[in-house]
Amino acid sequence: MGYLSWQPGINFSRRSTRTVSDHSVIQEEKSVVLELLGVEKSYPGNPPVGALRGIDLLVRKGELLALVGTSGSGKSTMLNVMGALDRPTAGNVFIEGQDLSNLSDRQLSSLRGRRIGFIFQQFHLIAGMSAVENVSTGLLYQGISRSRRNSDAIALLHRVGLGDRLGHLPHQLSGGEQQRVAIARALMGEPAIILADELTGNLDSKTSEEIIELLHQLNGDGSTIVVVTHDGALARSFPGMVTLLDGLVANDSRAA
């Protein structure tokens, strides 16, 4: 792909001026999967450290979006907030119109398992489990029978090009194949959105291109995907790109 060094933009968005009352109007668009409204996140310190400083963001059904920024830009914090792994200090996060601030920790955990798929730089596969078994863990706590989980896992492994690796353990798979297993696991249960964090960080350039092509194929089939990356060249290969800098949205290519 010939990735190039990325230089951040300079057109900073102002802090959010939208309110929760604006949310109901936006949610009339049935296509909105994820909405961040005035999201702030700070960490204790003297003074407190502001990682996110008033973020507004919409992700619509069927989008393939890159969230790009250098180290310290706030992109990892934003991924955690978007994925209901962490709560914002201020503002609101909505998944399919549901305000996450109204949910208990247990309810958030249930929502993550049902409606959000995660792909990480580290594959997080279980060493003693086959590809099918690893993928089936994506629905382990959703009250679905083992036979149904396994049949869904097999179908997804075929979908990501691993139909001949069903019984292989992680150490018997290449890095790219392990990432494909992780992608299949994220697709289990047809989540509303898939969040990927630096998913090509441990792969060589050729394998990275193959994984990105797979994401484009999955998106073409209807999956909504947000990829967090520091790689501007990779980000520019996606239809949409949001640039973060110092906890603010510096640029959103979709608004151009």
**What pLDDT digit, counting tens, does each position of 152-193 carry?**
999 999 999 999 999 999 999 999 999 999 999 999 999 999
Average of per-residue pLDDT values in the chain: 88
Which pLDDT belongs to residue 18?
56
Q: What is the pTM of this model?
A: 0.86
Is it the case that residue 19 has pLDDT exceeding 80?
no
Q: How many CB atoms lie within 10 A of CB 46?
A: 5
* Continuous segment of H or E residues that includes residue 242: strand 240-245
Q: Is 31 exposed, middle or buried (0-12, 13-18, 19+ CB in 10 A)?
A: exposed
Which pLDDT tens digit goes with each residue over 50-97?
A: 899 999 999 999 999 999 999 889 999 999 999 999 999 999 999 999
Q: Is 127 exposed, middle or buried (0-12, 13-18, 19+ CB in 10 A)?
A: exposed
Q: CB of 55 within 8 A of CB of 16?
A: yes
Which pLDDT tens digit goes with each residue over 123-139?
A: 999 999 999 999 999 88
Name residue, tokens 């929502």: 111
Mean pLDDT of 23-31: 58
Two structure tokens written together for 138? 């994506």
CATH tag, 22-255: 3.40.50.300
